[in-house]
Amino acid sequence: MDNRGVIKASSFLILTIISVPANLLVCCAFLHSYLIEAKLLTADIILCHLAFANLMVAFTRSIPQTLAALGYVNFFDDIGCKISLLCFRGFRGLSVSLTCLLCVYQAVAISPATSKLAPLKMKIPQFLLYIILFLYLLYYSTSVSSILYAVSSLFNNTIPPYTMNLDYCFMLYKEYSSYMSVGFGVMARDLVFIVLMIVMSGYILRLLYQHSQKVKKIRSSDHSHKGRRAETKASGAVVTLVVLYVVFFGIDNIIWVYSITILRVAPLISDIRVFFATLYTSVCPIVVITTNPKVQRKLKLVKMKREVQTTGRNTCTM
């Protein structure tokens, strides 16, 4: 294996090792809360779906990419490639749209009663499942190009122009127009959610700044501020997720725009783009685990149970 192959395999292996258990942990924490408490907060439901989407991105892109980098190729036939790439594009799109939904909801949740967003405080929780279902339908219906163009192998192993080489599968566009239209269509679709995220994040930061100015004027240890501090912490976590996604999305699409200006893209450039396209799936659950009180409580509970079991075993052996 050459140096590029070693770096590629190591990079995607690290992403997989982080992404799969971290997203599983977030999903299990919220599902356990639902089983115990019989309810979940609106933000928790969105985060659970987001973790599931990130987990599926890891299964449909990070793991196959790791296997391909390690030398395991042709593990998909044409149908497998079509299903894998359709799922990847659908769940990657859900990742951005659910992050956007989380950002919008957080902005609505902390907005004052006089804000124009105030009516949405009741509307979003009421129609949340319908909104999420709509996002699933939107992204899978607009990702059908994967079914049309995905193949597992090429004729005579020759890579023609306008082909996306993923090592384990290929996106074979027969014309430059289809290559451009699909690419710009996907970018424009995601850009709508990116712009909305940026606007809502700016609104959240403005509200947080106004709140900090009020706190400076009125110093108090009143318990009424505890809820506000929790909202501030949650808002900061959401803004962090938005900033990370915007950065990764920007790098991904800058590389894509560059790639359409040349006939054949260097393998290293494609590797970097795919890496940043999946990096969010590993970073997102880490942010959630380190900032979400509910997930942290579940981790502490598991740790306490293990300590009790260890203590019991040691007592029995004495």
Residues 6 or more apart from 263 whose CB is under 8 A from it?
A: 161
Average pLDDT, whole number, for the chain? 84
Using a pLDDT cut of 90, give the percent of the chain over it: 34
Whole-number pLDDT of residue 25 = 93
Segment 234-261, tens digit of pLDDT: 788 888 999 999 898 888 888 877 777 6
pLDDT in tens, 52-105: 999 999 999 989 988 888 888 778 888 999 999 999 999 999 999 999 999 999
Contact of 73 with 48, CB cutoff 8 Å:
no
| 104 Cβ neighbours under 8 A, 6+ residues apart | 120, 124, 196, 200
Strand partners, 172: 163
Is the distance from CB of 91 to CB of 60 less than 8 angstroms?
yes
Lowest pLDDT segment from 22-26, 131-135, 255-259? 255-259
Distance (Å, whole) CA 205 – CA 125: 23
Q: 228 falls in which pLDDT band (50, 70, 90)? A: low
pLDDT confidence band for 311 (50 / 70 / 90):
low
Handedness of CA 132, 187, 146, 286 (dihedral sign): negative
φ, ψ for residue 162, nearest 5 deg = 60, 40
Superfamily designation of domain 3-299: Rhodopsin 7-helix transmembrane proteins (1.20.1070.10)
Mean pLDDT highest for which of 59-63, 132-136, 155-159, 232-236? 132-136
Query: 24-48 burial by CB neighbour count: b if 16+ within 10 A, else e?
Result: ebbbebbeebeeeeeebbbbbbbbb
Cβ partners under 8 Å of residue 255, min gap 6: 269, 272, 273, 276
Listed by start position, the domains of the chain span 3-299
Is a pLDDT exceeding 80 seen at residue 265?
Answer: no
pLDDT at 312: 60
Residue at token pair 């783009």? 273
Identity (one letter) of the amino acid at 52?
A: F
- Chain centroid to CA 238: how far? 12
> What pLDDT score was predicted for residue 104?
93
Say yes or no to pLDDT of 316 above 60: no
pTM, full prediction? 0.88
Question: What would the two tokens of residue 180 be?
Answer: 């451009």
